[in-house]
Amino acid sequence: MVTPEMKICRPKVTVKDLSVSYGRLESLRHVSFEVNEFEILGVIGPAASGKTSLLRTFNRLNDENPAFQKTGKILLDGVDIYEKMDLPTLRKKIGMIFALPAPLPLSIFDNIAYGPRLHNVWKTSELEAIVEKSLRAAFLWEEVKDRLKTPAMKLSGGQQQRLCIARSLAVEPEVILFDEPCSGLDPIATAHVEEAMQELKAKYTIILVTNNTKQAARVSDRTAFFLMGELVEIDRTQKIFTVPQDKRTEDYISGRFG
């Protein structure tokens, strides 16, 4: 068993003095922290604390919003993702799972193959291999292997979310962002998705934004607590949930507000 302390901590993502605003609305204020390679970083905080904004800044989906402005830097393996990387390359390296399962109106197979095809993989044998590998890694293969041609929209919510995980794995990302991935799922489906995450951290760096503090406690190695756009505290999950340094963290995780 590898505990977080025993791992060699190499920073995968470095956030330096990041501030984000949309027009007059400030979303993140002077945030700095690091995400280590092969860890699950849980990000918790009440609504409007800037969690989702943070994720969308990591893969630059915020660029689609004309009002978006930021100062500060985000480095991936030491490379500035806003200055030194083009969008497709960045988004291939940093995958994202959305709050609501979002399969495209295509078959299961074509959903998984969507990403590889974007990046010019066209040979059927190659695609078949990628689809199987990705579905296995997302713990969905056994349930769907006999009906890859059926529409992905026909799957249950939990299966759809694992399909979305498989779909982002298919482009071989290095970091995966989870944006409240279980908010629409029942406890059993949630358990499946969490199980998948635990396995994935062996090969990927995971940032998990969640409204469910218990989920962060169950899944993540380290946890960051955000409040009104500020990073209040970041530490090993065990420490955050047993001996938080900040009174506000304690109040939040013990359910006094949120």
The binding site for another protein (CB under 8 A) comprises 59, 61, 64, 66, 87-92, 95-96, 98, 100, 102, 104-105, 114-115, 117-119, 151, 153-154, 164, 167-168, 171
Nearest approach in angstroms of CB 206 to another protein is 15
CA 195 to CA 110: how far, in whole Å? 25
Nearest residue (CB) to another protein, 104 versus 228: 104
Backbone torsions φ then ψ of 231, nearest 5 degrees: -85, 110
Residue 93, CB-side half-sphere exposure with 13 Å CA sphere: 14
Residue number with CB closer to another protein (169 or 217): 169
Residue 12 CB, shortest distance to another protein, in Å, is 18
| Nearest distance from C-beta of residue 163 to another protein, angstroms | 11
Q: CB nearer to another protein: give 54 or 61.
A: 61
Give dist(CA 174, CA 169) in Å, integer: 9
Nearer to another protein, 87 or 243 (CB): 87
Question: How close are the terminal C-alpha atoms of the chain, in Å?
Answer: 34
Nearer to another protein, 20 or 217 (CB): 20
Scan for tokens 């995958």, then name that residue: 95
| Distances, alpha carbon 58 to alpha carbons 93, 177, 206, in Å | 11, 8, 12
Residue 150 phi, psi dihedral angles, 5° rounding: -80, 155
Identify whether the C-beta of residue 152 lies closer than 8 Å to the C-beta of residue 164. Answer: no
Q: How far is the CB of 145 from another protein (least distance, A)?
A: 22
Nearest approach, Cβ of residue 186 and another protein (Å): 20
